[in-house]
């Protein structure tokens, strides 16, 4: 039994090609980047700009630190591709992309917002609620859109 399981694992490892996985990751990453950025900019620039100004304007910089924002986008998208989009494609399941994309967004946005709520004086609860909902919507929608683009063009 133990030898049989070990042999199956060896066969799986032999047939998995890390170069192909790396190429797929890079392709998914570069599909995800403009999708994520476009959807997030709709929220930040068109929908929620006045909301954030009203709620936390006293904390906001007059100019965006685009270097920090860029690093956030790179890391977030790498996580989304690694933990949500790639597994959804392997499972052939847009529902997986939707559900786990939403969960990924909830967890990642909670890290920022719940920490702020716990540590910053006068951090508005409404900002945390709005951000957590947005994180779920953004991550789920990006995951599903990228899933469908990838399955139509890459696979």
Q: What is the mean pLDDT of residues 100-113?
A: 98
What is the 3-state composition of the chain as percent helix, strand, coil, each rounded to the nearest 5?
Answer: 90, 0, 10
Q: Structural domain boundaries of the chain?
A: 24-153
Q: Say yes or no to pLDDT of 137 above 60.
A: yes
CB 73 within 8 A of CB 112: no
CB 99 within 8 A of CB 136: no
Residue 11: CB partners within 8 Å, gap ≥ 6?
none
Phi-psi region of 122 (alpha: psi -120 to 50; beta: other; left: phi over 0): left
Residue with tokens 């957590």: 132
Q: What is the mean pLDDT of residues 124-132?
A: 97
Position 2 scores a pLDDT of: 46
In whole angstroms, give the CA distance from residue 41 to residue 48: 10
Position 6 scores a pLDDT of: 42
In whole angstroms, give the CA distance from residue 101 to residue 120: 28
Q: What is the pTM of this model?
A: 0.84
CB 85 within 8 A of CB 150: yes
Position 20 scores a pLDDT of: 78
């Amino acid at each position: 039994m133990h030898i049989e399981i070990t042999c199956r694992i060896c066969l799986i490892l032999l047939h998995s090609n890390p170069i192909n996985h790396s190429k797929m990751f890079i392709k998914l990453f570069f599909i995800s980047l403009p999708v994520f950025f476009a959807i997030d900019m709709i929220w930040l620039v068109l929908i929620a700009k006045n909301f954030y100004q009203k709620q936390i304007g006293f904390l906001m910089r007059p100019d965006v630190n685009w270097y920090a924002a860029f690093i956030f986008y790179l890391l977030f998208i790498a996580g989304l591709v690694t933990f949500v989009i790639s597994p959804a494609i392997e499972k052939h399941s847009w529902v997986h992309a939707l559900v786990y994309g939403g969960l990924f967004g909830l967890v990642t946005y909670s890290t920022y917002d719940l920490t702020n709520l716990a540590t910053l004086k006068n951090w508005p609860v409404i900002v945390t609620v709005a951000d957590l909902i947005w994180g779920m919507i953004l991550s789920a929608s990006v995951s599903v859109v990228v899933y469908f683009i990838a399955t139509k063009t890459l696979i």
